[in-house]
């Protein structure tokens, strides 16, 4: 039964990514843009380009997303890249489909933007929880954090990078579009990220993975090879299993999929994941 569930786990994750991408595109086309608000991150950049140039929004999204997806594939692996491509494909297709579907939300702009931000956040949560991504800002932040780790051995949260990135997006909206659009878009960001943080346990924060195993050397070797991360190793004693090794490793949210693959490839492993706000050295 367990093998059967694993067999359908991967196709199910792609289905959830597709659903999440369609929810996000519905929110953007049918609720946010008609109510003078835009998405955040690289999707926001694509919408700004669309508004200023008149180019097709789907084309703008594809062009803006492409370099981030390529970089994410190179840094985070092929599985991540495939899921990012699938999510982006459904997102851009949804932008075209929902353009021709008549939908009117007859409420105040404020209420519409809150509702749209909630749908956007729910859609992005589905994507993130299933190992995908349709926004280049998260990929950009993860790459910066990974580069810092590779250079210094220090783990940092993506929060400040994401806040700075989106601050630049909203400043551009304020300058090139109008003040109301900037304020409405900021509200979208607050609502959407609140939903995302609720369902993904602060995806931008550092994750501590604790692994209890008898096969510590092989797992440490895989983590070093696949993630270029090291582990703290401690002796542990199980009431039934007896002597084990406890491994503690710090990774980003986007490295979780690869870590799960490593853990799943080894038998007799028990692991937990917790969110770390800050590491003091």
- Over the chain, what is the mean pLDDT? 87
Which of 157, 185, 200 is a domain's end point? 200
The yes-or-no verdict on residue 97 having pLDDT over 60 is yes
User: Is residue 272 domain-resident?
Assistant: yes
Based on the fold, state whether residues 18 and 50 are members of the same structural domain.
yes
Based on the fold, state whether residues 90 and 16 are members of the same structural domain.
yes
Based on the fold, state whether residues 94 and 182 are members of the same structural domain.
yes
Based on the fold, state whether residues 68 and 180 are members of the same structural domain.
yes
Based on the fold, state whether residues 101 and 148 are members of the same structural domain.
yes
| pTM of the full structure | 0.83
Based on the fold, state whether residues 196 and 263 are members of the same structural domain.
no
Based on the fold, state whether residues 196 and 233 are members of the same structural domain.
no
Task: Give the chain's end-to-end CA distance (angstroms, integer).
Answer: 45
Q: Structurally, how many domains does the chain consist of?
A: 2
Based on the fold, state whether residues 152 and 232 are members of the same structural domain.
no
The confidence band for 5, taking pLDDT boundaries of 50, 70 and 90, is low
32-80 pLDDT tens trace = 999 889 889 899 999 999 999 999 999 999 999 999 989 888 877 788 8
- Report the C-alpha gap between 139 and 80 in whole angstroms: 10
Q: What interhelical angle do 41-53 and 57-76 show, nearest 10?
A: 150
Write the CA distances from 245 to 113, 238, 239, 270, integer angstroms. 50, 10, 14, 11
- Report the C-alpha gap between 52 and 41 in whole angstroms: 17
The yes-or-no verdict on residue 1 having pLDDT over 50 is no
The confidence band for 3, taking pLDDT boundaries of 50, 70 and 90, is very low
User: Is residue 227 domain-resident?
Assistant: yes
102-156 pLDDT tens trace = 887 777 888 899 999 999 999 999 998 888 888 888 888 888 888 887 777 777 7
Based on the fold, state whether residues 186 and 221 are members of the same structural domain.
no
Which of 140, 166, 200 is a domain's end point? 200
User: Is residue 281 domain-resident?
Assistant: no
Find, among 116, 69, 114, 122, the residue nearest to 92 by Cα.
69
Structural domain harbouring 258:
206-276
User: Is residue 21 domain-resident?
Assistant: yes
The confidence band for 4, taking pLDDT boundaries of 50, 70 and 90, is very low
Angle at 111 (CA atoms; ends 39, 95), nearest 5 degrees: 35
User: Is residue 190 domain-resident?
Assistant: yes
Based on the fold, state whether residues 30 and 149 are members of the same structural domain.
yes
User: Is residue 19 domain-resident?
Assistant: yes
Query: Which residue shows structure tokens 């250079």?
Result: 151
Provide the token pair at 279: 């590491």
177-186 pLDDT tens trace = 888 889 999 9
Write the CA distances from 204 to 51, 102, 112, 200, integer angstroms. 29, 36, 27, 9
Which of 143, 165, 200 is a domain's end point? 200
pLDDT over 90, % of the chain: 42
Give per-residue burial for 134-145: e unless 16+ CB within 10 Å, then b: bbbbbbbbbbeb
Cβ(251)–Cβ(259) under 8 Å?
Answer: yes
Based on the fold, state whether residues 149 and 185 are members of the same structural domain.
yes
User: Is residue 95 domain-resident?
Assistant: yes
224-247 pLDDT tens trace = 988 888 899 998 887 777 788 999
Based on the fold, state whether residues 138 and 228 are members of the same structural domain.
no
């Amino acid at each position: 039964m367990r093998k059967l569930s694993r067999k359908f786990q991967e196709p199910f994750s792609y289905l959830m990514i597709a659903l999440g991408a369609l929810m996000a595109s519905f929110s953007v086309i049918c609720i946010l843009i008609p109510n003078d608000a835009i998405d955040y991150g690289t999707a926001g950049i694509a919408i700004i380009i669309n508004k200023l140039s008149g180019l097709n929004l789907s084309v703008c999204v594809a062009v803006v997303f492409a370099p981030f997806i390529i970089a994410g594939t190179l840094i985070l692996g092929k599985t991540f890249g495939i899921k990012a491509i699938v999510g982006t494909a459904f997102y851009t297709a949804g932008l075209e489909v929902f353009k021709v579907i008549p939908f009117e939300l007859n409420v105040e702009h404020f209420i519409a933007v809150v509702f749209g931000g909630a749908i956007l956040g729910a859609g992005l949560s589905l994507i993130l929880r299933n190992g995908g991504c349709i926004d280049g800002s998260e990929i950009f932040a993860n790459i910066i954090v990974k580069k810092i780790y590779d250079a210094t051995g220090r783990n940092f949260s993506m929060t400040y990078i994401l806040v700075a990135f989106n601050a630049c997006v909203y400043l551009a909206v304020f300058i090139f579009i109008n003040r109301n659009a900037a304020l409405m878009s900021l509200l979208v960001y607050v609502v959407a990220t609140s939903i995302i943080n609720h369902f993904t346990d602060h995806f931008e924060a550092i994750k501590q993975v604790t692994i209890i195993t008898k096969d510590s050397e092989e797992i440490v070797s895989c983590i070093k090879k696949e993630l270029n991360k090291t582990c703290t190793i401690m002796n542990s004693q199980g009431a039934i299993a007896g002597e084990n090794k406890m491994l503690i490793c710090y990774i980003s949210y986007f490295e979780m999929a690869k870590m799960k693959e490593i853990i799943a490839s080894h038998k007799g492993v028990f692991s937990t994941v917790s969110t770390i706000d800050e590491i003091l050295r």
